[in-house]
Amino acid sequence: MYKYHCLNPISEVGLAQLDENYVVTGNADEADAILVRSAKMHDMEFSRNLKAIARAGAGVNNIPLERCADEGIVVFNTPGANANGVKELVIAGMLLAARDIIGGINWVQEYEEDGDIAKITEKKKKAFAGTELQGKKLGVIGLGAIGVRVANVAVHLGMDVYGYDPYVSVDAAWNLSRSIHHAKTVDELYKECDYITIHVPALDDTKGMIDKNAISLMKDGVVILNLARDVLVNQEDIVDALVSGKVRSYVTDFPTKEIVGVKNAIVIPHLGASTEESEDNCAKMAAAELRDFLENGNITHSVNYPDCNMGVKGDGERITILHKNIPNMLGQFTTLLAGENMNIALMTNKSKKEYAYTMIDVDSEVSADLEEQLTSVDGVLKVRVIR
């Protein structure tokens, strides 16, 4: 029986995949696994029993990834599972910036005077007129699950699309419409585009990437969209640029104390992934990842450990070892197993940066003593025997 804890509400469709072998607990300290969306986990202490965290979503900047790796906790996310939801909100954001739809609707809503609203509308509407997206240049920074979808749909809207991503994956490149211009530098994209949308993770080298220097390279009256993370855009600099009119509109999914209430800031309360479909997709993928890890030891879509798969566990026992990626680990593991006269049926080892993972199927029972010896090897972070 496995116990899981939810730090945010997680779609029932996903949780339903955790069958009778799983039980929810309100106490994170007794959980084998945690499911989370955007709850901040940096200040949390983790119990030794915690084996995995699944982020039902894409961004993992709310989770202390390295500390988890050091404590032998595998962190998963759900790549692409909410990308369509975000893509659709980006398109909505561009339309809201192109025309004063919000101002117009508010005017109708607040209209209190007596008189013929239909007639007055025809006089008043010019105050809310705008422009069209067709024919405008859109720059997409970050061509991952979301960026590719935004770029492709913008082509269908008749936009001239520029894409920038120095680390673009082969899969993403295959999915990208051929009519998208490849911006070799981000500066080129800044100079060319009428609309600029960011779809990169919050990392040390992306935080604050849209600052006054970047904005100074952009066209006057540019529209910037940020449905990725608040920290990617320097908040003081974007407020200054909105006040001066350099940036015509800033559409963001992240309210901050600096941006709320600023004229021409369109601030959405982090709704990108808040659709039934995205919530279900993320929860289903997260639950499937957790089950495969807890029951078979397989790792898929981890952000702090290598992906590693040895298929469904058979009748024998499976030893899984999370460890540092340093020399002679396998040699020490196999020596310890040989010392107990154990036969290895199948073994695999994968590494990712400083961390590695070894899975070993054995033909006989693993004793508590062997488990203890494996745990004591220098560099081993967690040993689990799946029986």
Ligand X SMILES: NC(=O)C1=CN([C@@H]2O[C@H](COP(=O)(O)OP(=O)(O)OC[C@H]3O[C@@H](n4cnc5c(N)ncnc54)[C@H](O)[C@@H]3O)[C@@H](O)[C@H]2O)C=CC1
- Chosen residue from 229, 284, 301, 318 binding ligand X by CB under 6 A: 229
Question: Binding of ligand X at residue 168 (CB under 6 A)?
Answer: yes
The one-character DSSP state at 16 is T
Largest separation between any pair of C-alpha atoms in the chain: 93
Tokens 């992240």 -> residue:
254
Does 283 bind ligand HPV (CB under 6 A)? Our answer is no
> Which residues does residue 182 pair with via DSSP β-bridges, in sequence order?
163
Report whether 63 contacts 53 (CB < 8 A).
Answer: yes
Q: Which of 59, 130, 306, 379 binds ligand HPV (CB under 6 A)?
A: 59
Residue 84 makes contact with ligand X by CB under 6 A: no
Residues 191-220 that bind ligand X (CB under 6 A): 199-202, 205-206
Please give the Cα distance from 79 to 345 (Å, whole number). Answer: 33
Distance CA 373, CA 21 (A): 29
Among 14, 22, 46, 57, binds ligand HPV (CB under 6 A): 57
Do 189 and 161 form a contact (C-beta atoms < 8 A)? no
Q: Is 358 in the site for ligand HPV (CB under 6 A)?
A: no
Q: Interaction with ligand HPV in 243-272: which residues (CB under 6 A)? A: 270, 272
Residues contacting ligand HPV: total by CB under 6 A:
10
| CA-based radius of gyration for the chain | 25
Min. distance of Cβ 197 from ligand HPV in angstroms?
A: 15
CA distance 57 to 60: 8
Nearer to ligand HPV by C-beta: 136 or 284? 284
Q: In terms of CB distance, is 31 or 227 closer to ligand X?
A: 227
CA-CA distance, 225 to 94, in Å (whole number)? 8
Distance of CA 105 to the CA centre of its chain: 33
* CA 150/CA 176 separation, integer angstroms: 10
Binding of ligand HPV by 82 (CB under 6 A): yes
Residue 272 is a binding residue for ligand X (CB under 6 A): yes
301 binds ligand HPV (CB under 6 A): no
Question: What backbone phi and psi angles, to 5 degrees, belong to 128?
Answer: -115, 10
Among ligand X, ligand HPV, none, the one that 201 touches (CB under a kind-dependent 5 to 8 A) is ligand X
Residue 148, SS3 per DSSP: helix
User: What number of chain residues touch ligand X (CB under 6 A)?
Assistant: 34
Give which of ligand X, ligand HPV, none residue 180 binds (C-beta under 5 to 8 Å, depending on kind): none
Give the interface with ligand X as residue ranges (CB under 6 A). 57-59, 79, 82-83, 86, 141-147, 164-169, 172, 199-202, 205-206, 227-229, 253, 270, 272-273
